[in-house]
A = this chain, B = another copy of it.
Amino acid sequence: MPKFIHTSDWHIGRLFQNISLLEDQLHVLKQVKKYAAEHQVDALVIAGDIYDRSVPPAEAVDALNAFLAEFMSDLSTPVIMISGNHDSAKRLRFGAPFMSASGLHILGDIRNVSTPVVLETASGPVHFFGIPYHDPVEVREAFDVEVKTYDEAHTHLVSLAEQARSRGIPSVLISHCFIDGAEESDSERRLSVGGADRVSYQPMQAFDYVALGHLHSPQYKGAEQIRYSGSLLKYSFSEHQQSKGVTLVEITDQGATWEHLPLIPKRNMRVIEGTLDQLIEQGRQDPHADDYILARLTDKQDLLEPMAQLRQVYPNTLELERTQFSVSRGSQLVADVSNRRSEDQVFKDFFSQVMGDELTDAQSQLLLEVVEEARAAMEGQE
């Protein structure tokens, strides 16, 4: 029966605390290739956020190019990808019309949602419909329809794909979106502030399988065949307990089945806790001492250059927390927009996630003024 690997959120070229993760990414991509060969899959499906930025570093572009060239020349297995919110669809899709004949399908144009990639497998054809990441404005402009919300926009595209399905041919939908109620991680970039980015899963139920991207934790939502594969790697310390991997999907006569295939990172992302002395002692015998480390120090007294000391044994220690001094940053929900948090706090987090930088004092001051002005105006209306 037709089989494929579903993966997403590669974020090739991502920096983690200013360290390039390219080597780590290529390390697990080798495992993806190995899984593809081992299970003789018919396709590799990547559900968006191929790169980490609209303009990725040239080295990242070149590394992905080399991986795809090797993957496809060694395995002769087609690759189907859509653009995510981190990608520039226009940049990613350059040359796409000339690549599909060779089996590289880059779906980066919402105007093509009705045109499936047709995969001929030993057990017959499978249709893959791709919905690249989009905002409501793009859908309004491309299709001249009145859609206002992310949900309406996404539902419009899903219905176009659904209408293009062929009776009796298994169909897979690929989308990069945030299903309402699904579980967030720290390392996703929010699509819009305040929950307006959520879409409903119901319109997607007609497909035999839905390969989703955007959320970094493997999960399903709404129905079991509507799945997030999760990201390629842990991209934040808050994900330290997630099991990253790819999803092996098989389309059977009774519907789709799936299996999580784990990816073993070159350097894991770990949170360790103890006194500085305990951690140094532990590090001396730790076979994975080059993992990326967030260390929670429980010492109560002042410490002399704890980071430098810890890096003697854990060279990739990236964050230190003093449990006695502050709420630990690793457990802080950066993306939390619940009512318990003030507007300016939410905006500050949003800013730092998008810009990778904190607000300056002047910006903070301006923000506060704007928030107060808005609040005053709203109170005036009531």
Contact = CB atoms under 8 A, between A and B. Distances in A.
Interface of A: 54-55, 58-59, 61-62, 64-65, 68-69, 72-73, 88, 90-91, 93-99, 101-104, 106
Q: Identify which of A73, A91, A98, A103 gathers the most chain B CB atoms within 10 Å of its CB.
A: A98
Contact of A102 (B68, B93, B94, B102): B102
Copies in the complex: 2
Given A58-B54, A58-B88, A88-B58, A64 B98 contact: no
Contacts of A97: 65, 68-69, 72-73, 102
A84 to B, nearest CB: 15
Contacts of A99: 95, 98-99, 102
Given A58-B88, A88-B58, A98 B94 contact: no
A102 B61 CA distance: 21
A61 B91 contact: yes
Contacts of A64: 94
- Main SS class of interface, A: helix
Contact of A65 (B58, B65, B94): B94
A36 B62 CA distance: 32
Nearest to A95: B95
Given A99-B102, A102-B101, A94 B61 contact: yes
Contacts of A103: 98
A81 to B, nearest CB: 11
Q: Identify which of A62, A72, A93, A95 gathers the most chain B CB atoms within 10 Å of its CB.
A: A95
Given A69-B97, A98-B98, A90 B54 contact: no
A61 B73 CA distance: 27
20 contacts: A54-B58, A58-B91, A61-B90, A61-B94, A64-B94, A65-B90, A65-B97, A68-B95, A68-B98, A69-B98, A72-B98, A94-B94, A94-B95, A95-B98, A95-B106, A98-B98, A98-B99, A98-B104, A101-B102, A102-B102
Contacts of A88: 58
A94 B102 CA distance: 14
